[in-house]
Amino acid sequence: MYICYLYEREGQVPHMEVLPEVPLAAARGLALDLLHQRPHYLHAELWDGEQMVSRFHQDRLRAPTRSGAAMGV
């Protein structure tokens, strides 16, 4: 099970979304969708248990990349 934390600003207690049981690539897509649908959030973190597996930034969703897709870290 993956958990997506959405932050309005640094140091803030995040909003938490529990994601359905899906493969990691699908969970990353769901986290990106959540961040895209909620532009007031600064960034999202995707966690698998106690390990962060991806972090997505709102400003990168708006900026085009070479591949045309938003990239997480």
What tens digit of pLDDT does each residue of 7-42 get? 998 888 899 999 999 999 999 999 999 999 999 999
What is the reported pTM? 0.78
The residue to which tokens 């990353």 are assigned: 28
> What pLDDT, on the 0 to 100 scale, is given for residue 59?
83
**Cβ count within 10 A of residue 62:** 10
What pLDDT was estimated at residue 61?
Answer: 74
The residues near 1 (Cβ < 8 Å, ≥ 6 apart) are: 18, 19, 21
* Structure tokens given for 58: 């709102």
Per-residue pLDDT reduced to its tens digit, 40-72: 999 999 999 999 999 999 987 765 544 444 445
Q: Is the pLDDT of residue 3 over 70?
A: yes
